[in-house]
Structure 1
């Protein structure tokens, strides 16, 4: 990867800017993309071979540019809502505040890494049929905190990543930048997003050893980012469908390869009701290619049960709480190298009147 210094050295005497001091470096694209991703999920089609990064190149570059120029991904431009030209904003400007002291009940911080490997399954080889297992699970679900708590806001806490970055010219050493997100959204579309980038982790031992010898210098990327948005019906949470046929239609939008991604998105942005959780399990049970992986432990140390779907060089994994049917984790594993190219841990989901 060329930086300013290496480019000037390559030009040599032909450099028209010889003698001009090199300004301090800007935040690197990988950090900008990770920060943008922490604010909004940008996904590539499932099943596509993704060697380095899970977002299309154009989308990743756009996300980096949006953050670099003050445009927050997700349709928020220069502090105004998308579609409103400069000087014509009709909505209050979103405010960015210093990271507040948390007031919610914090989930235990997962301890994973520095090397990230796929989770271990009870049935790694020759997994049994999944239909009866998931249907039995769906028939005996218990309420979760998202069913029993009340309040103005839906609160969701996640940790995850959606990209593996190459930081070396030969592309042999990669790193992963997890982001932690706390998200509150009310029915009127007002919300608070609190995100922070976590220390890098690595997809294999070779990458970890390389970065121990060649540490990445800080680039000035904010350690925490808090965004408050005023009420807006365009951001209001749309209710999930309740009719089984409509739930199946929505989850299978784009075909079977998108099923696991859509389940991940529902649990990452909604307090999914018990009846809907049961129907999600039944849809997975009826989908050809979904296999039962049995008991497992996610990266937060929680016991769960897992199912997987293999598609075009990728293994999609969902881990559920066997008591409530809530999603605990989602993984997208690149095969056969077993790089965990994308992951989401759902650490909390509830309703509350308090902002953190």
Structure 2
């Protein structure tokens, strides 16, 4: 990470200067499983933070010169709280459902196209939490939606834009805490950051074969197969994958022990896909109890990742899609 990006992250940190005492580590880890910080490539959040200026309406259709962008789902703005989906109990079915998709992969509008910038448009739901003073096990949580648009060139230059929705609170204690501390926590609004060359470290695309995908995305290996899904979601949050790389990702997942097919599902944008998942909590010293499952939703025609999320490990298979990938493409113009 460059010095400038670190400075941007530090300046945007809503908890900068807040005093945090000893807390309930298990509670923090449990809440963090639901994507407590945005994982989109935006300047302050999961290695991708926030960037915004004030934007009134949501992003509409993008029409630019020398652009090839696939609109995976038109949306009027950041969706509301993601509704949980019920996934069939197929936890023991291997992910061989992905092999036919890879074999018959259909091209997207951006396959074979080029442009200075890779463009990604995503929405998601994240959260912010801090321990409440004087309450060792009390954690104040704020939840919010975020919409991210990013234009990234190979040298790390480009533009990042994040539109964050108004925070909501899961309990009255959290609501009261943030009301009494208005300078702490996320704020609704929009921010845009223009990036110079070197400001952002662009993830290198692995070679378009399953072995290279495994080496790059299934790390740390000791975390178990859920780490493979986390790696694929992270790659899709930073790069636009062509057909060869999408096929390699599908074959990598299909050959990963512990990744299973979970039937057809619909994401918050109303798109149907094939769900695959893998159980969490398989590190060398896992926490006790149900560690849930990581999920990906795959377009059965193009092999694109439509959404990623987390859910429980029960037969009911309740899953919440925390990140939804709406648009991908190549362009020579910053939006």
Q: Which residue of 1 aligns with 2:328?
A: 349
Q: What's the counterpart of residue 21 of structure 2? A: none
Higher mean alpha-carbon deviation, 143-152 vs 212-221, is at 212-221
Sort the Cα spacing of 1:120 and 1:111 in 2 relative to 1 into closer, same or farther, 3 A.
farther
The equivalent residue for 1:119 is 85
Calculate the TM-score normalised by the size of structure 2.
Answer: 0.67
Identify if the C-alpha distance between structure 1 residues 323 and 167 changes in structure 2 by more than 3 Å, giving closer, same or farther: farther
Residue 217 (structure 2) aligns with: 251
**Are positions 1:147 and 2:111 aligned together?**
yes
Higher helix share: 1
Unaligned runs of 5+ in 1: 1-29, 34-47, 61-70, 77-94
Deviation at 1:120, TM superposition (A): 2.1
Task: Name the counterpart of 1:91.
Answer: none
Residues 250-288 of structure 1 show CA distances to partners (whole Å, capped at 9, x for unaligned) of 121211331111000111100111111112111211112
In structure 1, the residue matched to 2:239 is: 270
**Displacement, 1:187?**
2.4
**Closer, same or farther in 2 for the Cα pair 1:338/1:289, shift >3 Å?**
closer
Give the drift of 1:151. Answer: 2.1
Counterpart CA distance in 2 for 1:50 and 1:335 is 17
Residue 157 of structure 1 deviates from its aligned partner by 0.8
Q: Quick one: distance in 2 between partners of 1:145 and 1:333?
A: 32
Shift, 1:324, TM fit = 0.6
Q: Specify whether residues 294 and 282 from structure 1 end up closer, same or farther in structure 2 by C-alpha distance, changes over 3 A only.
A: same
SS in 2 for 1:295: strand
Aligned equivalents of 2:78 and 2:195: distance in 1? 31
- After TM superposition, the structure 1 = structure 2 runs for residues 233-252 of structure 1, keeping only pairs within 5 Å, are 235-236=201-202, 238-252=204-218
Range moving further from structure 2, 312-321 or 327-336: 327-336
Identify if the C-alpha distance between structure 1 residues 167 and 74 changes in structure 2 by more than 3 Å, giving closer, same or farther: closer
TM-score normalised over the length of structure 1: 0.63
1:32 matched to which residue of 2? Answer: 14
Question: Are the equivalent residues in 1 in contact too, given 2:90–2:263 (CA < 8 A)?
Answer: no
Tell me how far apart the structure 1 counterparts of residues 295 and 52 of structure 2 sit (CA, whole Å): 35
Distance 1:323 1:333 in 2: 25
1:135 matched residue in structure 2: 99
- Relative to structure 1, the CA distance from residue 161 to residue 53 in structure 2 (aligned partners, 3 Å threshold; closer, same or farther) is same
* Deviations, residues 222-253 of structure 1 (Å, cap 9, x unaligned): 61111001123873553332243222211212
Deviation at 1:316, TM superposition (A): 0.5
230-239 or 326-335: which moved more? 230-239
SS at match of 1:188: coil
Determine if the alignment matches structure 1 residue 261 to structure 2 residue 227. Answer: no
Q: 1:342 to 1:104 in 2, by over 3 A?
A: closer
Q: Which residue of 2 aligns with 1:295?
A: 264
Structure 2 residue runs of 5 or longer lacking an equivalent are 1-11, 16-26, 38-42, 63-70, 282-290
Q: Is the 8 A contact 1:158 1:347 kept in 2?
A: yes
